Amino acid sequence: MSFLGIDLGTGSLKLAIIDDEGREQCAASVAYTIDTPQPGWAEIDPEVWWRALREAASRLPQVQRSAVRAIGFSGQMHGVVLSDAQGNAVRPAMLWPDTRALPLLDAWSAPQPNPVAPGMAGPLLRWITLHEPQSMQAARWALQPKDWLRFKLGGEIATDPSDACATALADPAGVWDRALLERLALPLERFAPLAASYAASGSLSGDAARALGLRAGIMLATGAGDTPCAALGSGLANDGDALLTTGTGGQILVLATQEPNEAQGLHRYRAATDHWYRMAAMQNIGVALEAVRGWLSYEWSDAYCDAFASDPASGVTFLPYLTGERTPWLNPSARGGWLGLALGTSRGAMMRAAFEGVAFSLRAGLDAIRQSGAQVSALRLAGGGSVDARWRQLLADALDVELHAVDCPNSAARGAAMLGAIACGHWHASDLAALAPAATRVAGPQNNTALAARYARFIDLYGRVEGWFAPPSA
């Protein structure tokens, strides 16, 4: 008996099959690109996800696929898919890096239970209502990405609290805010009813089963957002357990048994199980490093070598805010760049500054979590962007934490598969702590006072240039 996890990410779709003891048996992934038809837009045809799923499934051994008894879902958070009653998208899916709804955020008057970003479903749907009313009229459902994919596979129309509470249209527990929806002219009937992440939400259709090489009738769990799925797959099970994920963006989350208090710049969301978590969400991690690597014409291996061979005291600072920023600044207009460049500045020094700038942006998010009252001295580490030993040491020094690498290369997909196993009754929530993967200490802080001084300079420079980011007044 085994269980399949589908992780529908921003830049790739990943599959992982785990056995009845939670061990990964095989995995596959397929990458795709986001469409940017206009500056600030981020879209994708949902059929690209469907094709990626079929291709990834074909890469899994048939003997492993034949043993799957349940499927769980993990999905990129915040975006939205408008579909008709049959699951056909009426327009391209809009994704979390999209900033076109930035002028519409004043519709969310303070105070809000969570920070509101332009790439969340609420602002994006508000934009569609104003600029593409025909799309809203043609749509039966406004779905989160993973919920659309589950529907495509034969599942029920449903969403879970971890995804719903991140739309800016629900309370922190995920319950739709009827008064807000009415004020924004968004019909409640467009939104999926809530179900637990580990609840059964339909079964695999015959057509989908044939396309994926699976058995028809397999139970489908509701699933959860990718961050809570990564927390589950990485072994977070107890109050205070903390995780750092580094991918396109970065998240630092701390699990809590009770709803965390509201804190400026932080999110408090429901987890995939019955826990809560507080989270710092930083948008510019892998996306910033990848942009810099491209600008400097580096292969990744050379980028690491040149950056960490460069003198860290070059005087160059990099602000990584290429797509605005959430925690802690809540500034979607923020922008990035190097400060302190000289004629003799090398490519390596610029790349080094980029690594440090990204690490400092993570530290600013962690500082917000610490200021909220959480004690964080160690982080489990997940995400494909955190495997180089030199980068890990820089992160440990910048964040002033021990880092423990999780022995689970596909934590979000594993967490999704675990939800499938719970949905079909193989495990219960009380079993999760015992299923935590091994974690190895890979780095610890070395009291790097020079790096601490550069972090203070980073924070000072952001404050000095923040006024440049605002658009000129009319």
**Which is the CATH superfamily of the domain at 235-407+438-469?**
ATPase, nucleotide binding domain (3.30.420.40)
Confidence class for position 470, pLDDT limits 50, 70, 90: low
Cα separation, 205 vs 273, in Å, equals 26
Dig out the tokens for 38 from the structure. Answer: 């206009």
Check for a shared fold between 2-227 and 235-407+438-469: yes
pLDDT of residue 385: 58
Q: For 171-180, 206-215, 378-387, which range has the lowest pLDDT when averaged over its residues?
A: 378-387
Write the CB contacts of 297 (distance below 8 Å, at least 6 apart in sequence): none
Compute how many other C-beta atoms are within 10 angstroms of the C-beta atom of residue 472. 4
What is the bridge-based pairing of β-strands 93-94 and 43-44?
A: antiparallel
Q: For 47-51, 278-282, 330-334, 440-444, which range has the lowest pLDDT when averaged over its residues?
A: 330-334
Phi/psi at 77 (nearest 5 deg)?
-95, 160
Compute how many other C-beta atoms are within 10 angstroms of the C-beta atom of residue 20. 13
pLDDT of residue 474: 39
Which of 63, 74, 53, 69 has the alpha carbon at shortest distance from 25?
Answer: 63
pLDDT of residue 21: 92
Write the CB contacts of 144 (distance below 8 Å, at least 6 apart in sequence): 75, 77, 79, 80, 81, 121, 159, 163, 164, 167, 192, 225
CB of 215 closer than 8 Å to CB of 221: no
DSSP codes, 26-56: EEEEEE---B-SSTT--EE-HHHHHHHHHHH
Q: Would you give the distance in Å from CA 388 to the centre of its chain?
A: 21
Confidence class for position 183, pLDDT limits 50, 70, 90: very high
Please report how the helices 226-233 and 411-423 are oriented relative to each other, as an axis angle in degrees rounded to 10: 80
Dig out the tokens for 136 from the structure. Answer: 């809203």
Average pLDDT, integer, range 143-169? 95
pLDDT at 325 > cutoff 70:
yes
Map out the domains of the chain as residue ranges.
2-227, 235-407+438-469
Average pLDDT, integer, range 443-464? 95
Q: Would you give the distance in Å from CA 162 to the centre of its chain?
A: 12
pLDDT at 294 > cutoff 80:
yes
Please report how the helices 389-399 and 449-469 are oriented relative to each other, as an axis angle in degrees rounded to 10: 80
E-strand spans in 226-363? Answer: 242-246, 250-256, 267-270, 276-282, 317-319, 337-339
Cα separation, 200 vs 221, in Å, equals 5
Cα separation, 38 vs 235, in Å, equals 40
Residue type, 187: P
Q: Residue 299 burial by CB count (10 A; 0-12/13-18/19+): exposed, middle or buried?
A: exposed
pLDDT of residue 323: 87
pLDDT at 436 > cutoff 60:
yes
pLDDT of residue 187: 94
Write the CB contacts of 212 (distance below 8 Å, at least 6 apart in sequence): 53, 54, 57, 65, 204
Confidence class for position 383, pLDDT limits 50, 70, 90: low
Dig out the tokens for 201 from the structure. Answer: 């939400």
pLDDT higher at 90 or 471: 90
pLDDT higher at 127 or 174: 127
pLDDT of residue 384: 58
Dig out the tokens for 159 from the structure. Answer: 């969403």
3 state SS of 223: coil
CB of 127 closer than 8 Å to CB of 101: yes
CB of 246 closer than 8 Å to CB of 264: no
pLDDT of residue 125: 97
* Segment 109-134, tens digit of pLDDT: 877 778 888 999 999 999 999 999 99
CATH code: domain 2-227 is 3.30.420.40
Cα separation, 111 vs 34, in Å, equals 33
pTM: 0.85
CB of 280 closer than 8 Å to CB of 265: yes
Dig out the tokens for 242 from the structure. Answer: 């903390």
Q: For 291-295, 325-329, 335-339, which range has the lowest pLDDT when averaged over its residues?
A: 325-329
Average pLDDT, integer, range 124-150? 96
Between CA 44 and CA 422, with CA 82 as vertex, the angle to 5 degrees is 90
Compute how many other C-beta atoms are within 10 angstroms of the C-beta atom of residue 238. 13
What is the bridge-based pairing of β-strands 402-406 and 378-382?
A: parallel
